[in-house]
Amino acid sequence: MYYDEKEDRYYSSRRDYEKVSLYTRLQRGDLRTIEGFSRYTIADDGSVINIQRARIVKPHMNSTGRLSIGLVNDEGTQKTLGLARLICYHFHAKPGDDEQYYDVVHKDDDLRNVHPSNLLWVARWKRHANPENYNVDIS
């Protein structure tokens, strides 16, 4: 049995709780569908959820110390994406016409903190002009 304190309700399993929580969050608008990856949603807390399985997809650290996540796109191809860039893309205004010339910066320099309030788009030329000022996720 799993108990949810907020709703004062018992669920038969943690999986049942996660399914109900998923649908509640979808209704509230906390989740956004990832473009090109329609079977996944992304939450404002940085978690990526597989809608078909009602499970959170676990990120992993890549070789540069940044969080990455493996997803299957709509064509069925496996892709590894930078989690910070994915969150910034879905929760901030788009950086401009040419996204490839923008990087994601972690304001507090903690590469594991991928909350949208900690992420910022920075033009690549600004980052190159002052490299010591920016900790950048270019994946």
* Distance from C-alpha of 115 to C-alpha of 121, rounded to nearest angstrom: 13
* Distance from C-alpha of 88 to C-alpha of 82, rounded to nearest angstrom: 10
pLDDT at position 2, please? 64
105: tokens are 């910066």
Dihedral, CA atoms, 74, 80, 81, 82, nearest 10 degrees?
A: 170
CATH of the domain at 100: 3.90.75.20
Tokens 């064509």 locate to: 75
Local confidence pLDDT in tens for the 139 residues of the chain: 666 666 666 766 666 666 666 666 666 667 888 989 999 999 877 889 898 887 889 999 989 888 999 999 999 999 999 999 899 888 888 777 666 678 888 888 888 888 888 898 887 766 655 555 555 444 4
Q: What is the pTM (predicted TM-score) of this model?
A: 0.72
121: tokens are 């788009």
Q: Which of 2, 6, 83 is nearest to 43 (CA)?
A: 83
* Distance from C-alpha of 108 to C-alpha of 99, rounded to nearest angstrom: 23
Q: In which domain, by residue range, is 48 found?
A: 2-137
- Count of domains forming the chain: 1
Dihedral, CA atoms, 28, 110, 125, 44, nearest 10 degrees?
A: 0
* Distance from C-alpha of 134 to C-alpha of 125, rounded to nearest angstrom: 12
pLDDT at position 19, please? 65
